[in-house]
Amino acid sequence: MPGHILVVDDEPDMRLLLRLTLGRAGFEVTEAATGEEAMTAVEHASFDLVLLDLNLPGIGGLEILDAWNDGGVVPALPVVVLTADARLGLEEETMSRGGRECLRKPIASADLIERIEAAMATPAATVEER
Amino acid sequence: MTTDGTAAVGRGHTGSTRDVSSILIVDDRPENLLALEAALAPIEQNIIRAGSGEEALRALLKHEVAVIILDVQMPGLDGFETAAYIKQLDRTKHIPIIFLTAINKEAQHVFRGYTAGAVDYLFKPFDPTMLRSKVAVFIDLHQKKRELQTSEERFRRAFDHAPIGVALVGLQGSLLKVNRALKELTGFSRADLVTKTIHELIHSDDIPIDLGALANDVAGAGASWHAEHRIVTRDGSERHALVSVSFIPSAAGMGPHFIFQITDITERRELESFRERFVSHAAHELRTPATVIAGTASLLYENPDLRPAEVQQCITALYRQSQRLTAMVRNLLDLSRLKEGRLKAKLEQVDVGRLASLVLEHTPPPEQKSVMLSVEEGCFAMVDAEGMDHILTNLLVNAYRYGGDEIWLEAERDATEVVVAVSDNGPGVPTELIPKLFDPFTRGKLSSAVGGSGLGLALVESLVQASGGEIRYDPRPEGGSTFAVRLAAP
């Protein structure tokens, strides 16, 4: 099951936590600190899933999703949003842009891994039908 | 002074609460003036004497008079001519006149020409009791009028000086009468306001006030109606107001009308919206360190086999995030207290140089950055000492996070003020951030990476203002940024 995950978060300590947690679960992890880095990374490497923070300096998470949606990157590439933003309606914002799921910080590592595996196991076709 | 029955004529209640009125007596013969004065003495009012018609007119310019006793036969201006002048002036035409005259037909004819009530007459030789009772009636009338004026004046002042906007509004919405607070609230002059309708004062996007329905709703005594509306002001800005309306079916001299009370609640609304943003911002900001701390702690707990380098990274992350959490909680509390006015600055003489050294001790620059401290000897400022510590700490931390590798902390004083400046040789504040630099919740692009909370500068500004100072940001001419705090010198 494990695969290659791109972790996008501007907080270095958060990236460390995700890298270690996901690493121990067997995933290969690549990090991006900004939206620009994330877009470049997706152009140059192949990932099985992107874990995306929304509140990023520069290009925000939802803008990245928009760009990937327009470019046909999603929903083929599963994108799971992981945000500290408590606003209502972010689930819809995520789905309408071709994202798979919106998770809120804080989240237990076991739950996170379970959601990631579920998103990776769902083929894009079933996502598009929704 | 005696307080016998005669003196009390016409003074129905306690004389002490009433002002003394003035009686003007006019006669060309000093002995007649004396006789009049003696006759009037029991009334206990102020008596002004005039020896001629001309003198009487001059006296009326200076004094407010309740009644005039006027001899008819006088050299120069006689009594009737004098009275004619008195009746021509707005200021004096309402003063009642009692003529003193010998009985003759011509005089009786003249008296009929005057408006009844304002004029009376007595034939010489006069009966002192009769004179006193006539004068007492006029004095009483005068004092009642004065009381009415006072109470009207009191009402007018209460209306005009009420701390909330008040308008009397006609059934079609025209502003009949407005008070000072409404002028201040809207920025319009009284002359502008009375040409407007209440509908023009309410923001056009708000639900318009239906005066017809309102007249029915609030017709009952004591009934009122309340709603929040945005008020349009002269400069085009909006104020939030609580509008309360009651209805007056008809009052003396006025047809049915509404009373609008308009309370400016803009600041309260701003505080409410600040609180809402504050809570959501605080929840958001605290969530990140909480997530990292909880996640990293359980990672360490559940995985005893982590490599030593990873353990060290985790400990560093735990340390950094718990520091950040602590600073954030302190800033959040301070800012919320300051915003609600609960944190009062205690102004005292603070040695800026000593305080700056202390701050540098507890908040030293990170590796590869250095602070040059340059404070004039004896540089004292009037500021809250704890507040000043937070101000310097936040400005330095700001420079450590966003600034260059060289940081300057400088202070200078002149006769009236002290300027404390923190500068650095970094990239400076991005132009688009400058207008909102001191707003709470504004963060630089790199702020997450460097642990910014978006509250530091807002807190600094609030603290500086609480001490009566001001803060400004300027780009440093050589590149970088300068934050300058101006405080009063002791």
Distance from CA of A84 to the nearest CA of B (A): 6
| pLDDT number for residue B351 | 94
| pLDDT number for residue B5 | 32
Residues of chain A with pLDDT > 90: what percent? 70
Q: Please state which of the ranges A31-45, A98-112, B423-437 shows the lowest mean pLDDT.
A: B423-437
Measured CB to CB, residues of chain A less than 8 Å from chain B are 10-14, 16-17, 20-21, 24, 33, 55-58, 84-87, 105-109
Pairing of strands A4-8, A28-32: parallel
Which residues of chain B neighbour A61 with C-beta distances below 8 Å?
A: none
A17 and B295: CB-CB below 8 Å?
yes
Q: How many CB atoms lie within 10 A of CB A79?
A: 28
Mean pLDDT of A90-117: 92
- Report the candidate in B437, B421, B436, B433 with the shortest Cα–Cα distance to residue B484: B421
Residue A127: pLDDT band with limits 50, 70, 90: low
Distance from CA of B296 to the nearest CA of A (A): 6
In the numeric block, the tokens 């340059």 are attached to B374
Distance from CA of B283 to the nearest CA of A (A): 8
Distance from CA of B288 to the nearest CA of A (A): 6
**B445–A contact, CB cutoff 8 A:** yes
B300: phi then psi, degrees, rounded to nearest 5: -65, -40
Interface probe for A, chosen from B281, B288, B310 (most Cβ of A below 10 Å), is B288
Which residues of chain A neighbour B449 with C-beta distances below 8 Å?
A: 10-12, 33, 57
**B314–A contact, CB cutoff 8 A:** yes
Cα gap A125→A105, rounded to integer Å: 28
Mean pLDDT of A73-88: 89
Q: How many residues does the structure list for chain A?
A: 130
Cα gap B438→B463, rounded to integer Å: 12
Q: Which of B290, B314, B320 sits opposite A106 (nearest CB)?
A: B290
- Report the candidate in B416, B399, B417, B414 with the shortest Cα–Cα distance to residue B482: B399
Q: Cβ neighbours of residue A13 under 8 Å, at least 6 residues apart?
A: B292, B296, B317, B320, B321
Are B297 and B466 in contact, with CB atoms under 8 Å apart? Answer: no
Are B372 and B406 in contact, with CB atoms under 8 Å apart? Answer: yes
Which residues of chain B neighbour A108 with C-beta distances below 8 Å?
A: 298
B361: phi then psi, degrees, rounded to nearest 5: -70, -45
A13 and B310: CB-CB below 8 Å?
no
B263: phi then psi, degrees, rounded to nearest 5: -100, 125
**B48–A contact, CB cutoff 8 A:** no
* Tens of pLDDT, residues B60-74: 999 999 999 999 888
Q: What are the tokens at B64?
A: 């407010």
Cα A58 from chain centre: 17
Q: How many CB atoms lie within 10 A of CB A85?
A: 17
B314 and A20: CB-CB below 8 Å?
yes
A11 and B449: CB-CB below 8 Å?
yes
Which residues of chain B neighbour A17 with C-beta distances below 8 Å?
A: 291-292, 295-296, 299, 317
A16 and B320: CB-CB below 8 Å?
no
Distance from CA of B220 to the nearest CA of A (A): 45
ipTM here: 0.89
Pairing of strands B370-375, B67-71: unpaired
**B372–A contact, CB cutoff 8 A:** no
Distance from CA of B484 to the nearest CA of A (A): 27
Q: What are the tokens at B267?
A: 């600041």
Which residues of chain A neighbour B287 with C-beta distances below 8 Å?
A: 84, 86, 105-106
Which residues of chain A neighbour B284 with C-beta distances below 8 Å?
A: 55, 84-86
A16 and B317: CB-CB below 8 Å?
yes
Which residues of chain A neighbour B310 with C-beta distances below 8 Å?
A: 20
All residue ranges of chain B with pLDDT < 70 are 1-18, 103-118, 220-222, 251-252, 339-343, 440-454
Which residues of chain A neighbour B290 with C-beta distances below 8 Å?
A: 105-106
Single pTM value for the model: 0.53
| pLDDT number for residue B433 | 80
Give residue B173's identity as a one-letter amino acid code.
Answer: G
Are B407 and B424 in contact, with CB atoms under 8 Å apart? Answer: yes
